Copies of this chain bind each other. A is one copy, B any other.
Amino acid sequence: MLSYINENRERFLNELLDLLRIPSVSADSKFKPDMLNAAEFVRDRISEAGADRAEIFETAGHPVVYGEKMIDASLPTVLIYGHYDVQPADPFELWNSPPFEPVIKNERIYARGSCDDKGQFYMHIKALETMLATENLTCNVKIMIEGEEEIGSSNLGSFVSAHKEMLRCDTILISDTSIIANDVPSIETGLRGLTYVEVEVVGANRDLHSGVYGGGVANPINVLCEMIASLKDENGHITIPGFYDNVEDLTADQRAALNAAPFDLEEYKKDLQIDDIMGETGYSTIERTSVRPTLDVNGIWGGYIGEGAKTVLPSKANAKISMRLVPHQTDDEILAIFTKHFESIAPASVRVKVTPHHGGLPYVTPTDSLEYKAAEMAMEESFGKKPIPTRGGGSIPIVALFEQELGCKSILMGFGLDIDALHSPNESYGLFNYYKGIETIPLFFKHYAALKNPAKS
């Protein structure tokens, strides 16, 4: 198969670049037409790859693309999951090249979605093509690529439960995560959950003159700042009553294993150009960003933000706040206690509103499962090194739901790197990683089929 991949290297890349040119931003309704273009593009590439089914399913939100290649009912079935939507690209002024005009620089593809997740899910379509063209397909394949992952997959849950039969499979393979380094392969065995809310603090019924009213009435921005500040104590511990009630405490061994992963604090600070890190007292950076819950303000706005100075005491202030959750916390429970607490700490001089955006459950994959072993063997074969199990800090809300609805585990075999700048300006994906993924995926199928049916191999 390697030779086939090498012969088609250029075409495999150009197809991805075409996909990256479509600004499929799910969060902003003005990109709705581009979302459909992206879905059609994905459907057509799946069918060209040799699938015997490739369709677009409408949902209440953005459509889901589904395709499959069923070769033998006696063989295991692998469901590929990915998403064709991307994060908004702003702030545009920080991009060195336009986010939707991909460029190759220093062996990397620069574009919004190059890694998250277009570059990663497209590897699977090219891997399928490769396995079929070289008659190496060892499993039945189903592919589901959604368009709402970056906005919480709000409609995928109902889609999945409405199509359980169509989606029935033995395991789910997802490439939407990272490895530690190109010479240090790793597999994420856990993801954090997410609760995302928007809050509004309203004071007077109109913007006021800060001289005439200043000092006499609540300033919604000052109040919002005070409320946000009060959500953490001096140890970076979240103060919302009950927030940690269901958080699992790792054993000393689990913590040791986690902290055994290679991590260079000086490199980390140098890459981010920060003089110091900041986080919850008593935990390492690896723990803070993977097995501990967080609370971050993702956006804040209020008052006059134009050029120059305006002495206004604004009528309201807003913020977008998200919390990353860890196993045994649920997004519904955290949404409820956050809302209750936030409302309870508001002074009588303002009115507050909490609007939920989206959420998702945390997730953990056991490292003794067949799919984990298959991924481990595949990566060891392609990288020449056994991958390290890690815990990821990000969230793919849907994986927990897959387990509930389809009754099988997901395996997170991703090929990104921390330097890919996901969700940031100048997102990129290494050519090495793109081709390494296309090379590794067929090996997963090979080993998974063998492990499922030892007789046949």
Contacts and interface: CB of A to CB of B under 8 A. Distances in A.
Contacts of A192: 211
A86 to B, nearest CB: 11
Contact of A289 (B203, B214, B293): B214
Interface size class of A (residues with CB under 8 A): 35 or more
A304 interface: yes
B298 A210 contact: yes
Nearest to A29: B307
Nearest to A214: B294
A310 B423 contact: yes
A423 B252 CA distance: 59
A225 B265 CA distance: 27
A426 interface: yes
Contact of A215 (B279, B312, B320): B279
Name the residue among A178, A205, A221 with the largest chain B CB count within 10 angstroms: A221
Given A90-B306, A309-B151, A217 B272 contact: yes
A347 B278 contact: yes
A288 interface: yes
Interface stretch (A38-46, A162-170, A389-397): A389-397
Nearest to A308: B27
Name the residue among A228, A277, A307, A312 with the largest chain B CB count within 10 angstroms: A312
Interface string A258-299: 000000000000001111111110000100110011111111
A297 B87 contact: no
A221 B423 contact: no
A152 B210 CA distance: 14
Contact of A212 (B150, B214, B289): B289
A360 to B, nearest CB: 11
B273 A205 contact: yes
16 contacts: A28-B307, A90-B306, A94-B207, A150-B310, A151-B309, A205-B272, A208-B272, A211-B395, A212-B392, A225-B229, A229-B229, A297-B302, A300-B301, A300-B303, A305-B318, A308-B357
A213 B320 contact: no
A19 to B, nearest CB: 21
Interface of A: 26-29, 87-88, 90-91, 94, 150-152, 178, 192, 194, 196, 198, 203-219, 221-226, 228-230, 232, 272-280, 285, 288-289, 292-314, 317-320, 322, 324, 347-351, 357-358, 392-395, 418, 421-426
A87 B313 CA distance: 13
Contacts of A424: 206-209, 312
Nearest to A323: B214
Contacts of A358: 309
Given A292-B215, A395-B211, A303 B310 contact: no
A206 B357 contact: no
Nearest to A230: B229
Contacts of A178: 212
Contacts of A293: 215
A113 B344 CA distance: 40
Contact of A296 (B214, B285, B393): B214
B276 A225 contact: no
